[in-house]
Structure 1
């Protein structure tokens, strides 16, 4: 069978500023990409940029690379912060080019430490009542209003939207210099990632949970781990065994909130004649650091982010997964699990062409073939500015003449 075609090359506005919008657009086309997914809303990060003129580091902040329509945000309790003006102009220059690939608006929704710090009541809360400031909770009415307004702002510019972090997030990642010298094991860490904010607690209680009992059980599990209890796996069976049946009510309430928010955002995007691609970050949760995901296939672990892939796919125009796995067989298993869950929905798979997932062009080809055979409709690459140029060149090989059959 033929390989799934290349979709978007992911890029940052800083890439456009460093190399020029026309050059980045030319490079994307030259490498064979059909489109560019350019960040128009992003989060805090420190990134190595191997080919950015004199720079080799970029510090990113929370905010949007757009000039906001003030009427849309009048009276909003949460509103996005502005990104640097020169990068915002670079995005506009790209969109104004006559000769460019299609552009998708890569939009980070609920991963926003700045807004979490300003509005801690809108952030996820652990069983101890600690706010996870980098994680805005999709059950919060203020957060849902923010996400809807942001989608309206972005889609009104005439671009399709790739929605990152339009879901819950995990405990382990998102802030700056997360430190713990008290290891708790994967199961207790998953317990710490459960949200007990007002919205999630109300939804769980309405579904039949005794939320206070569940939170007390969660605190006891984590404290026992701090005291040296044996670790247990982060599986639904293991968590239900230690937390009881109330857990299921909480998880269903959380996933229902994500699904309904995806539907709400998709409706706004479609009102502007655009499409919404929902990005499921489970693959990043499992394999971000080393490309060595463990445990059940990705679709079976999407509950960590309060995602029901089948339900969300029904509300979206495309479903995007992160294939952060070095082993082609594991990648195939993850992609196949999502394909089974989302049915005939358009399925895109994002690969990293270099460290830590991919060793060579031939290795990349084997993963493109594995993802294709497992059901991917499009292959996408992350990211232009963070991959060394020789690594970007690897993308050509799977699609070179004479190498197009998997």
Structure 2
């Protein structure tokens, strides 16, 4: 059987004495517990004290102000209480579950709104406040400090990195009202190319005519471009790869220096990808497990693509939430197909958000694999 982990938030367990045993009964070995996270409005269908938690982007261990430099995260105390990660982790360990720290890096609207010059800016000049751009030294230092503070304050030896690279136009937050624009995947990739000050400087230093490039991108959006490469030079992609690799190296080095033994990375083998999954075109140095998005039943290709890159361990990120049906046989078949395609680990989203019926299908599916 592949290794199995389920995802959760600290508030799913703090204040609910029954929650750790319920999650332990699902058959997974560990919980990937949010240690830093973006803004979210989350259901808590079983919690004895609430049914909905509205959380801003924040850090779920204490924010020690002297540890931070230019960019500082918000603490999560207003909605999650003091040191909520460690309290939840202790309750999970008590029932025999391992705990992995789920660390969201560049997706932080609270930090971004205070520091718009450090955010992704598209060719039209629109700032994506939820998206910190890793071309900035301050963002790399923020990521490094984020990992250091979480690992030092929690003692975790396994971490899962999300948004370890730039985010783009596809945010799926606030009240998202962009679908009607009918932007193609190529349009979305073009709208995700960053023109912040640091990226502009890097482009200019690489010999690119930034004004001409920006004009070409603006003209191509919505005009039916078939590929990004029709509009944008390979140098732009190479710069993005370099910036993402620098962030990844900084956080991996910091994690290893503080005793982390296993580092997993949400990733996809798509060079122009932005968002929760880092774009990879080769095996990421220092990463033990690459996690492919696999929420759709026709997503085995993502696992196979990471396998072709030579990734040793490959996780499959599976959801038990809508639009996936509450059907244990279909979930089991989906997971089995991913394992057959090369997945060695199953990452199941999300123990706290799922109804009792959906937790039942997770339990049944894991038991049948």
Common fold by TM > 0.5 = yes
What are the superposed Cα offsets for residues 260-288 of structure 1, whole Å, 9 maximum, x if unpaired?
211110000011110321122xxxxxxxx
Question: Do structure 1's residue 169 and structure 2's residue 167 form an aligned pair?
Answer: yes
SS at match of 2:101: strand
Q: TM-score, normalised by structure 2?
A: 0.90
Gaps of 5+ in 2: none
Counterparts of residues 58-97 of structure 1 (less than 5 Å): 58-73=53-68, 76-84=69-77, 86-97=80-91
Q: TM-score, normalised by structure 1?
A: 0.82
Q: Which has the higher helix share?
A: 1
Cα distance in 1 for residues equivalent to 2:54 and 2:279 = 33
What are the superposed Cα offsets for residues 89-120 of structure 1, whole Å, 9 maximum, x if unpaired?
44322334544311111111111111111000
The aligned residue for residue 349 of structure 2 is 382
The aligned residue for residue 236 of structure 2 is 250
Quote the offset at 1:33 in angstroms. 1.1
The aligned residue for residue 247 of structure 2 is 261
Quote the offset at 1:162 in angstroms. 1.1
Cα distance in 1 for residues equivalent to 2:283 and 2:136 = 18
Quote the offset at 1:308 in angstroms. 4.0
Quote the offset at 1:398 in angstroms. 3.2
In structure 2, relative to structure 1, the CA distance for the partners of 1:179 and 1:347 (3 Å cut) is same
What are the superposed Cα offsets for residues 357-397 of structure 1, whole Å, 9 maximum, x if unpaired?
24400000111111101111111211111111111111222
SS at match of 1:364: helix
The aligned residue for residue 239 of structure 1 is 228
Counterparts of residues 207-356 of structure 1 (less than 5 Å): 207-222=206-221, 225=222, 229=223, 231-233=224-226, 238-241=227-230, 243-244=231-232, 246=233, 248-274=234-260, 275-280=262-267, 299-300=269-270, 303-305=273-275, 307-311=278-282, 313-325=284-296, 327=297, 330-341=298-309, 343-356=310-323
SS at match of 1:313: coil
Could you say what the CA RMSD is over the residues aligned between the two structures, in angstroms? 2.2
What is the total number of aligned residue pairs between the two structures?
361
What are the superposed Cα offsets for residues 20-72 of structure 1, whole Å, 9 maximum, x if unpaired?
3xx33322221111111111111112223322235332211111111133332
Gaps of 5+ in 1: 281-297
Counterparts of residues 30-69 of structure 1 (less than 5 Å): 30-53=25-48, 55-69=50-64
What are the superposed Cα offsets for residues 315-361 of structure 1, whole Å, 9 maximum, x if unpaired?
32221222110x3xx222221112212x1422111211231124400
The aligned residue for residue 8 of structure 2 is 11
Quote the offset at 1:175 in angstroms. 4.5
